[in-house]
Structure 1
């Protein structure tokens, strides 16, 4: 097993992954900007919010590396060429929507924090970024793909929940909607392209029934992990779920507060609902 992730096999059709909750900062990242600033980029404590899931039979994949070091929810072509001291030799995306995140400093390798602060005081070498891809991105995606393939082979369908958290208020360089107050949850399936609409609506309705405010495909539609593995016509359903950090933690100290307990109970209710749902019947 790679030291950069945890992958726990499931027995059900459900797979969860947390690509952004990693807190193991590699030695070759020590020259970046101050650690307290980088830590605000994490989907802090998301792995704790779902620590019950594997016990219920869901597959679980979790990144240990921080998203500011390498963002597993980006494609390897989402490269900011301005980061390098030499020409990047591999493919670079030409998709204008995809590259809008790169321009914000949020490509595969982040250039800036959510508040626009530069992460690096020097240019990067091609070899060091290629090494990050080989050590982190490739094993992570292989683990998610294998977990989903296994779930689909067992049951004839799979449901993939891509687990994230978001700040209460959008930062200046985090999305294209800076300053927007977020709902309690954002459910994303890239406008119906990565899961069936009935399944995504069921997730929204379940959370609303628990008393939460829920937004659908705004401002987060889902990115690479649902795009790459969601094929609803093949009964492979991928949904990105963002939970508002104010529900469970202090965003300044990063400490969990008492709200984490009822939130975790609600997430367990959602997971149990998905375990009992066959999307082919919706």
Structure 2
């Protein structure tokens, strides 16, 4: 498993590609695309120098190891794209210029979206907080800093993701984009409410055919997992921006409870990791099947 890095090489944006694409064996590729936008483990020196947090604290928002958990998707013909930079540095599951004006020493341009629920929560494309509300920065940023991150990481990531999705639609007539995430165990078991292991976000039925969500739910439930739909996560920017079922482009966000596989204090896999990875193979097959059915019309 790749380790996180705050090496000098990672401080130069041009030195490290912003994403990695993995493709299935020749002849196996189907209408399925898997994305992991929040599992990146590159933490540039500039971020660490501008933060009052230690390395472990700043990683609290990382969807640790999700990129490893979904590698089995290659076996069912999925193309994979995984962000390499940490979401604490730039969050590719946000609108590109979804920015909190209070974080910056200079005025933001008119095209920046300074008001949104995600910005208000401190989780814009340049996040203000990690974990349980811990402030990342001990100084204000400049817009130029944010722009550099967005243009060199967010933009290329979505250009590549869009190309994968459009190619799948062009080749097969339809495509299913699954945006994979993990959620804190505390979010999966809210106080006073029954908890869940998996959250399926389809933007309340708008981002994909109901057949997709039904198939994903049936696969997880059949394996003994507790599933919630759209609560507490209905799908982020990627699901909203790419989900166009009428155009053959279906998108579903899947959130896995970190309690299933991760020691959240140390961000290391625990004994449940291998079980979850094995169980996900059955989920991948179910997703590939429904994607194939959509492509067949």
TM-score normalized with structure 1 length = 0.91
Using the TM superposition, name which of 70-79 and 15-24 deviates more.
70-79
1:15 correspondence with 2:29: no
The CA deviation string for residues 94-125 of structure 1, in whole angstroms up to 9 with x for no partner, is 7x6xx122111111111112311211111101
1:127 correspondence with 2:181: no
The CA deviation string for residues 67-120 of structure 1, in whole angstroms up to 9 with x for no partner, is 0111110002321011110001141337x6xx1221111111111123112111
Cα separation, partners in 2 of 1:134 and 1:183, compared to 1, 3 Å: same
1:157 correspondence with 2:174: yes
Cα separation, partners in 2 of 1:60 and 1:280, compared to 1, 3 Å: closer
Asked if 1 retains the 8 angstrom alpha-carbon contact of 2:56 and 2:266, the reply is no
Which residue of 2 is the match for residue 29 of structure 1? 47
1:3 correspondence with 2:20: no
Q: For structure 1, which runs of at least 5 residues remain unmatched after alignment? A: 172-176
Shift of 1:193: 1.1
* Partner Cα distance (2:136, 2:111) in 1: 23
**Mapping of 1:66-145 within 5 angstroms?**
66-93=86-113, 99-145=116-162
Cα separation, partners in 2 of 1:178 and 1:231, compared to 1, 3 Å: farther
1:239 correspondence with 2:252: yes
**Mapping of 1:159-238 within 5 angstroms?**
159-170=176-187, 182-238=195-251
* Partner Cα distance (2:73, 2:208) in 1: 20
- Give the RMSD, CA atoms, in angstroms: 2.0
* Pick aligned residue for 1:58 from 78, 83, 106: 78
Using the TM superposition, name which of 177-186 and 30-39 deviates more.
177-186
The CA deviation string for residues 10-54 of structure 1, in whole angstroms up to 9 with x for no partner, is 521000000000111112212222211111110001011112222
Shift of 1:208: 0.7
The CA deviation string for residues 143-175 of structure 1, in whole angstroms up to 9 with x for no partner, is 11011111111110101110000011039xxxx
Which residue of 2 is the match for residue 174 of structure 1? none
Which residue of 2 is the match for residue 262 of structure 1? 275
Give 4+ residue runs of structure 1 displaced > 6 Å after superposition.
Answer: 177-181
Asked if 2 retains the 8 angstrom alpha-carbon contact of 1:170 and 1:181, the reply is no
